[in-house]
Amino acid sequence: MYRVANASEFLVIAGFGISDIKIVKKGWVLPGQSCAVFDVTPVNYTFELQAMSAEKLPFVLPAVFTIGPRVDDEASLVKYAKLLSPHDKLSHHAKELVQGIIEGETRVLAASMTMEEIFRGTKEFKQEVFGKVQLELNQFGLLIYNANVKQLVEAANQAKVDVSEARMKGEIGAKLSEAQALQNAAKIEAETKIIATQRQGEGKKEEIRVRTQVMVYENEREAEVAEANALAKKKAGWTKEAEVAQVEGAKSVALREAQLQWEVERMNGLTLTEKLKAEFLSQATVDYETKVLEANWELYRKQKDTEAVLYEKEKEKEAEAQKAIAVAGLFTRQQLADAEFYAKKRETEALVALAQAQGTYLRTLLEALGGDYAALRD
């Protein structure tokens, strides 16, 4: 497709077959290529430039700049096409960019000059500002076609008035400060005398107070010493009582140990006696029961034999006679068993009496040794 730009426009072609971009007034746009149109008509930018001189005095420079792309330089057109052509010339982005550059350079230049230098060489100041701004705009492919700073004289007069007022206020302030210093010096001197008198009175009061505190402290120390002496006497009495109690406790422990040892020996004797009694009595009981069982078995056997004999002989008298004989034999055996049990019992009682006698002997011997069980065993 063949494209043709208007008189104040250029075509920007990029894409297939083009290494970067191509800026032309007319040409073919091939498949795989893109084409955009940008206007190079200059635009007026009006600003209220806020600046400050070397004396730290602020001032305002109303300025109007006519800025647009540099059409007589292809490199500048390329820069503009790449950086700013996507944005409208009257857009907020473009205006902020230009305003930032102009304000920055104006403030830097104004800060290095006094108010008198700025407004005395108005033309030189303008040229200096425009030159520095143009250097910054070159990197975007822009050119200042025209620039004008309005009401510079009125601003200069106002600045001079501000300077005069500042000087007048400074002189008046200096006089006021000097008078205030003299007044403050007199006031401080009077207050110093008053404070010195007060300090003397306070010093005497403090001396009296310190002496009083010293006397109170000495009295308190004497009372504490007396109390400490009384406490020491009490502690000595407590120590003596504690030692006596300790000795009594040791003796009580020894006496209690002797009592317990005697009790142990007594219990050992009783235990031995009961053991011997149980052994012999149990043996006698077992022997007695054994004899009784043997007698009962013998009686049972005899009865069976007698019954068998009676059954065989079928004689009632003989059976009764045999039964009487068996009963007599059983009685005889029971008598013998009772006699033997009585003998065993007497023997057991004799052993018990012997054990009691031995216990009495040991207890008497222990008492004779003063309860010393170790000496008794030796």
Q: Which tens digits make up the pLDDT trace of 130-142?
A: 888 888 888 888 8
CA dist 179 and 125 (Å) reads 43
How confident is the model at residue 212, as a pLDDT?
Answer: 82
How confident is the model at residue 280, as a pLDDT?
Answer: 63
Please return the burial class of 125, using the count of CB atoms within 10 Å of its CB with bins 0-12, 13-18 and 19+: buried
Contact (Cβ atoms closer than 8 angstroms) between residue 28 and residue 2:
yes
How confident is the model at residue 154, as a pLDDT?
Answer: 46
CA dist 362 and 262 (Å) reads 11
How confident is the model at residue 377, as a pLDDT?
Answer: 61
How confident is the model at residue 90, as a pLDDT?
Answer: 66
The pTM assigned to this predicted structure is: 0.40
Three-state SS for the chain is CEEECCCCEEEEEEECCCCCCEEECEEECCCCEEEEEEECCCEEEEEEEEEECCCCCEEEEEEEEEEEECCCCHHHHHHHHHHCCCCCCCCHHHHHHHHHHHHHHHHHHHHCCCHHHHHHCHHHHHHHHHHHHHHHHHHHCEEEEEEEECCHHHHHHHHHHHHHHHHHHHHHHHHHHHHHHHHHHHHHHHHHHHHHHHHHHHHHHHHHHHHHHHHHHHHHHHHHHHHHHHHHHHHHHHHHHHHHHHHHHHHHHHHHHHHHHHHHHHHHHHHHHHHHHHHHHHHHHHHHHHHHHHHHHHHHHHHHHHHHHHHHHCCHHHHHHHHHHHHHHHHHHHHHHHHHHHHHHHHHHHHHHHHHHHHHHHHHHHHHCCCCHHHHHC
How confident is the model at residue 155, as a pLDDT?
Answer: 47
How confident is the model at residue 255, as a pLDDT?
Answer: 78
Q: What is the per-residue pLDDT across 258-302, written as a single tens digit (0 to 9) for each?
A: 778 878 877 877 777 677 666 666 666 667 677 777 777 877 787
CATH superfamily of 42-150: Band 7 domain (3.30.479.30)
CA distances from 111 to 58, 60, 115, 118, 267 (A): 10, 13, 10, 10, 122
Mean pLDDT, contiguous 10-residue spans, the chain (378 residues) = 88 87 88 88 83 76 85 87 74 80 82 75 76 88 83 51 61 74 78 79 80 82 81 80 79 79 78 70 68 76 75 69 76 81 82 78 72 62
